[in-house]
Chains A and B, each alone.
Chain A
Amino acid sequence: MAQLSEGLRRKEFSSVELTSRLLERIEASQPKLNALISITREEALQSAQAADRALASGNATQLTGVPIVHKDIFCTQGIKTTCGSRMLENFVAPYDATVVAKLKSAGVVMLGKANMDEFAMGSSNENSYFGPVQNPWKTGSVPGGSSGGSAAVVAARLAPAATATDTGGSIRQPAALCGVTGLKPTYGRVSRYGMIAFASSLDQGGVIAATAEDAALVLRAIAGFDPKDSTSVERDVPDYVSSLNAPLAGLKIGLLKEFFDKGLDAEVERRIRDALTVYEKLGASLREVSLPNLPLSVPAYYVVAPAECSSNLARFDGVRFGHRCENPRDLMDLYKRSRGEGFGAEVKRRIMTGTYVLSAGYYDAYYLKAQKVRRLIADDFARAFSEVDVLMGPTTPTPAFQIGAKVSDPVTMYLNDIYTIGANLAGVPAMSLPCGFVDGLPVGLQIVAPQFGEARMLNVAHLYQRETDWHSRVPEAYA
C-alpha cells in the first residue's frame, strides 16, 4: 500500500490503471476464492478517476487513489451491505459507516465488499450465506473468520488492504490463517457507527493489510472519536506511521503461559519461538507471564457475545428492511418465518443462547457472572502490562483446517478462540503477523498491547517485518 501510494504520486501509474488491474484480478479470482460478495466496478472506476484528478491537482492524501475492499459488515451508501446473511441479501445501506466515510474522504477507492461469516459469527467463513471463502494458500482450507474474505483478498493481493472487524478474533485469526497482517485496535479507538453490530461491547473495526506499515497507514485514517458512537474514545490519534522505526532495545515481551499450553501444535509453537528469537536479536527481553483467568474467557465470551447479539439482531424482524417472508398470515408468522428464513444456523444458535442467558432467573448465573469474569480478565491483562510492554504468543493453535472439518462441532471451533478473545474481553489492541509456514500454510504471531498502545504495537510488528520476509510471501497462484 505504501508502495502503491508512492507509485501513484510519482505518476508511475494512475489510480484508474491500478483499480482496473485489481478489479480484473478480483474478477478472475472470484470462481476460485469467493472472497467478495459485491464487486463495485463502476463506483471504483469513478472514484479512481476522481482520485487521479486530485493527484494531478496536488489535493491528495497519502491514501488518495489507493484501492481497498470493505468487509461487508460496514454500511456503504447506495451499495448492498449484506453482512453475509440472507436477511440482508438485498439491503442497500442508505449511509456510509464512519470508517467508510473517513477512507472515502481520504481518497481511498473501494473495489468491493468482502465475504464474511454471517453477522461476523464464525471463525472459518463457512457461515456465509454467499458460500465459503477459500484459503488462497490451499484450496479446500478455510481462510478463517469472520473476516475471511478480507484476509483472502489481501493474501491473494487483490487489494493492498481490507477493512475488517474483530469481536473475538475475527481480524487476527483469518490474518494468521492467510499469512497477512491483521490489527484489532483498542475498543473505542475506531468508530462502530455503521458497522452492523454483533456484540456491541466487543466489536471493534480494524484492518487487514500485507504489512504493519500499511496497517498503520489505514489505522491513522480510520481511528478517532466519533460523536455518533458514544463508546468511541475522545483521545488524540498518534501518527502510527512516524513511530514505526523506533528501536526495540529494552522492550519487555511477556510470553503468555496459557498460550503455550497443551493444544498448541508443536510446529506452530516452533515458528513462534523462532519469531521470538528475532526479537531477542533486536534487543528485547522475554519473560513468562500468566493470565490465570484466561481459561474462563471462552465461557464468558460465549455468554456475553450471544446475549448482546440476541438483542442486536432483534431489529431484523421483516418489518422495515431485510428479508420478509412471503404472505405472512399474521404478525407472529411474519416474525417467525422472516427470521427463520433470513438467519443461518450459527446465528440462530447464538440468538437462542443469548436469549436464554438473559432470561429471568438465569441472568445472574450467566450474564452477570460472565461480566465479573470479564473484569477479572481485564485485571489480569492490566497486571501483566505492569510488568511487560507487550504480550506475545500464537494467534491460533493450528494452521488453517479443512473446509467442513469442524462444521458439526461448534464447541471445538469455539475453544480455538481462547487465543484471541481475551483481548476483546479486556478491550486491548492486538495484532497477528505472519511468522512462517507449516505444511505450506501460514502461521500467525500474535502481539497484544495495553489499551491505546497501537503505536508501540505497530512499531514492534514493523521491526520484525524489517528482519523477515514472511509478510511478502504470496501464494503462487496469485504472485
Chain B
Amino acid sequence: MKTWETVIGLEIHAQLSTQSKIFSGSATAYGAPPNAQADLVDLGYPGVLPVLNAVAVQMAVKFGLAIDARIARHSVFARKNYFYPDLPKGYQISQYELPVVGEGAIDIVLDDGAVKRIGVTRAHLEEDAGKSLHEGLPGVSGIDLNRAGTPLIEIVSQPDMRSAKEAVAYMKKVHTLVRYLEICDGNMQEGSFRCDANVSVREKGADKLGTRAEIKNLNSFRFVEKAINFEVARQIDLIESGGKVVQETRLYDPDKGETRSMRSKEEANDYRYFPDPDLLPLELTEEFISGIRASLPELPDAKAARFCSQYGLSSYDAGVLTASRELAAYYEEVAKLIQGESKLAANWVMGELAAALNKDGLEIADGKMSSARLAGLLKRISDKTISGKIAKEVFEAMWAEGSEADAVIESKGLRQITDTSAIERAIDEVMAKNPGQLAEYRAGKDKLFGFFVGQAMKATQGKANPAQLNELLKKKLAG
C-alpha cells in the first residue's frame, strides 16, 4: 500500500472595494440591474481607452506590504486574449510578466498549534469579467457586464499546502487579511472572494510534483475543503487503478459534491499575452510605497501576539479574537472597561456574545450589544453582585430587551446574596427538609454534597454567592 501526499496551490481572487472600476468610472456596487453599471469602456466600445484607478493600485500595494512582499517599482499591464461573450474587449487586462506584488509569505496555524509558512508567488492587478446568465432565459444566454472591469487582485500561492484543511486555513488567513486592510469586503456569496485550487498527488517522499488539476471558482471555505478532498480521492483512485491524471481544468458541483472536467490542456486557450499598449507601465515611487506602509493597520498576527502579552490570553483565544478587526476592537473596548478581567472578557465575547450573534445572524458591527453594555454586565460578575450563572440570564434579558445589566439585575431581583445569615437560613431549611440525605452524607456518602448545593441554590433562587454557599454548607453539614 502506497502512501500519498497531496500538494495544493491556491489562486485567490479578491475583488478590491474601490468605488469605481479599475479602468472606467462605472460604480462597482453589487446587485444593480443587469448592465446598469457598465459604461462604454466596460462594454468595450470602439475607440474607448482604459484609465487606471489609482485606489486599486494603493490597495494592491497595501496587500503586498502586509505579506512582506517585494513591491515592484515597475510593473506592466498585459492583455490576456480570448473570446467569450462576457469578456467585451476579447481580452482581459491583467498583469503577466511583471506583477505589482512579488514574493511574500503568509503564516497559518495548524491543528496542532504549529505555525506553517505558505509562500506567495505573486499578486497582480486585473479586471474581472462579466457574467453569462442562463437561468430563466430559455434558448438564449444573457450577458451582465456590471461586474466587468471590477478590480481584482489575484494572489497566487506556492504549492505549499498539503491538505484541504491547510488550504482552508490559508484561504481564511488571506480572507482575514484583506478585510483587515479594508481592501476587499470578503463577501464570498457575492463572489468578492473566491479561489481556484491546483491539486495534485504524489507518492510520499517523491521529489517531482504530480500532474495537477485546476478546480475553478470555489466561493466558500466549505466548497474548497470538499472539492479538494474529492479531487484528491479521485486522483489517488485513478492512479491506483492504473490510470493517469491529466492536466485539466475542473469544475466543482456543490450539489453532487464532485468535480468534473471542464476542458483539457489541449483545449486550453493560448492567451497570447502581450503588454497593453493603451496603458503605460505602472511606476511606483518610494514615497508612494512608504506612504502606504505608514497607513497600514496593525495586522492580525501582530495583534494576536499583543493580545497574548497584554491581556494574558492563550494564543488560541488571541487568534479567535483577532479574526476580524471589528471583533478585536470590540474585545479591546470591553477589556479596557473592566481592567484586570481580560480573560473574563475574552470568554464572554467568544462564548455568550458570539453564540447570540450567530443565532440571530448578526455581526459585531451591527451594534446589537455595545461594548459598554457587555462590560457593564461583566463588572457585576467581577464585583460579585451576580454569579456567572445568573449573568447568563441577565445577558439573555439584555439581548432581548436592549437593556443595561444593572436595570435587569434590579428589576428581576437577581442581586447575589452575600449575607452570611441569609445563606445560613437557606441551608438550615434544606437540611431540615432532607433528613434522610443528611444522615447518608454524614455516614460518608460525600457525593451528596452536590445535592445539597443544588437545593440550597434553589432555595435562594440561584442568587447565593457560590463560594460562600460552598463554604457555609461544608461547615453546617459537618455538624
Contact = CB atoms under 8 A, between A and B. Distances in A.
Contact of A319 (B40, B143, B278): B143
A200 B49 CA distance: 10
Interface stretch (A170-178, A359-367, A461-469): A359-367
Contacts of A13: none
Contacts of B47: 74-75, 81, 93, 95, 97, 193-197
5 interchain residue pairs of minimum CB distance = A314-B90, A201-B277, A358-B272, A200-B277, A194-B47
Contacts, number: 102
Nearest to A203: B277
7 contacts: A75-B46, A83-B46, A197-B46, A199-B277, A311-B90, A355-B272, A363-B274
Contacts of B270: 359-360
Interface stretch (B77-85, B318-326, B416-424): B77-85
A166 to B, nearest CB: 16
Contacts of B83: 314, 317, 335
A331 interface: yes
Interface string A127-162: 000000000000000000000000000000000000
Interface in B254-286: 270, 272-274, 277-280
Interface of A: 74-75, 81, 83, 88, 91, 93-95, 97, 192-197, 199-201, 227-231, 307-308, 310-311, 313-317, 319-322, 331, 335, 355, 358-360, 363, 367
A93 B40 CA distance: 10
B79 A193 contact: no
Interface of B: 40, 43-52, 79, 81, 83, 85, 88-91, 143, 270, 272-274, 277-280
B40 A311 contact: no
Nearest to B279: A230
Contacts of A93: 45-47
A98 B299 CA distance: 45
Given A230-B50, A230-B279, A314-B81, A321 B45 contact: yes
Nearest to A200: B277
Nearest to B80: A311
Given A230-B52, A320-B44, A358-B272, A331 B278 contact: no
A194 B89 CA distance: 15
Could you tell me the dominant secondary structure of chain B's interface residues?
Answer: loop
A16 B40 CA distance: 34
Given A197-B46, A231-B278, 11 more contacts: A94-B40, A94-B45, A194-B48, A229-B49, A229-B51, A311-B272, A314-B91, A315-B45, A320-B88, A359-B272, A360-B272
Among A83, A88, A194, the one with the most B-chain Cβ atoms within 10 Å of its Cβ is A194
Contacts of A307: 274
A315 B272 contact: no
A315 B44 contact: yes
B46 A200 contact: no
A200 B279 CA distance: 10
Contact of A91 (B43, B46, B52, B79): B46
A298 to B, nearest CB: 20
Contacts of A319: 85, 88, 143
B53 to A, nearest CB: 11
A192 B49 contact: yes
A229 B47 CA distance: 10
A372 to B, nearest CB: 13
Contacts of A228: 49, 51
Nearest to A304: B277
Contacts of B79: 311
Contacts of B45: 93-95, 315, 320-321
A355 B277 CA distance: 16
Among B46, B50, B51, B90, the one with the most A-chain Cβ atoms within 10 Å of its Cβ is B46
B89 A315 contact: yes
A74 B47 CA distance: 8
A199 B274 CA distance: 13
A82 B52 CA distance: 28
A91 B83 CA distance: 21
Contacts of A355: 272
B21 to A, nearest CB: 14
Given A315-B46, A320-B88, A231 B280 contact: yes
B48 A193 contact: yes
Nearest to A308: B277
A230 B89 contact: no
Contact of B46 (A88, A199, A310, A335): A88
B48 to A, nearest CB: 7
A81 B46 contact: yes
Contacts of B273: 358, 363
A83 B48 CA distance: 14
Among B51, B83, B274, the one with the most A-chain Cβ atoms within 10 Å of its Cβ is B274
Nearest to B43: A320
Given A193-B47, A196-B47, A230 B90 contact: no
Nearest to A335: B83
A37 to B, nearest CB: 15
Contact of A317 (B40, B90, B277): B90
Nearest to A199: B277
Contacts of A360: 270, 272
B466 to A, nearest CB: 71
Among A83, A196, A314, the one with the most B-chain Cβ atoms within 10 Å of its Cβ is A314
A320 B272 CA distance: 23
B40 A95 contact: yes
Given A97-B47, A230-B52, A331 B274 contact: no
A311 B51 contact: no
Nearest to B46: A196
A195 B278 CA distance: 12
Contacts of A321: 45-46
B91 A311 contact: yes
B51 A227 contact: yes
Contacts of B88: 315, 319-320
A195 B47 CA distance: 5
B116 to A, nearest CB: 35
A317 B47 CA distance: 15
B329 to A, nearest CB: 39
Nearest to B280: A230
Contacts of A358: 81, 272-274
B159 to A, nearest CB: 22
A193 B270 CA distance: 29
Contacts of A95: 40, 45, 47
Contacts of B90: 311, 313-315, 317
Contacts of B280: 230-231
Nearest to B50: A230
A75 to B, nearest CB: 5
Contacts of A229: 49, 51
Contacts of B85: 317, 319, 331
A310 B79 CA distance: 12
